[in-house]
Structure formats: structure tokens, C-alpha cells
Amino acid sequence: MDQKMGEREVEAEFTLESAALCPHCREMIDSLLVVRILRTKVNFVSSLPRRGQVMLCPNCQVILTGSLGGLI
């Protein structure tokens, strides 16, 4: 995906089945941006995953609450 936000690359864009209201900017959105996150430093033994993703509003680029599910 060629879309960039500052220094971060957008890993994926998901289209919503129904438009939703962003709780931050209060704009209607019909898609979400996904950015990969990596754990870079921890001062203890951690059971948390090393990688993950966060979803962003395409308008205001604020992190939104939610989860990405998948098939196993």
C-alpha cells in the first residue's frame, strides 16, 4: 500500500460493511487504516506479543478501539 502518514507506513486499509462515526473527530468513516506496531524495548521478561496492529481513523488518524479477527 502506497499510503503514508508522516514516517509510518499504512499496512492495510479495511472497508467497513456499514459507515460508522469516529468517536474522536465525529466524522462518518467507511474504512479503517491499519498500522503495524513492534515491541522494541522491555526491561523485563514479557509474555506480551512482539508484534501487533492498531486501527486508525482515516480522517484524524487517531487510534481506535477494536480488534482484527482472522481465520485459523
pLDDT for 6 = 54
Nearest to 67 by CA among 54, 57, 56: 54
Q: Which residues, listed in sequence order, are joined to residue 5 by a DSSP beta bridge? A: 8
* pLDDT tens readout for residues 49-72: 788 889 999 999 999 988 877 644
pLDDT for 2 = 44
* pLDDT tens readout for residues 2-46: 454 555 578 889 999 999 999 999 999 999 999 988 888 878 887
pLDDT for 1 = 41
pLDDT for 42 = 77
Distance of alpha carbon 28 from alpha carbon 11, whole angstroms: 22
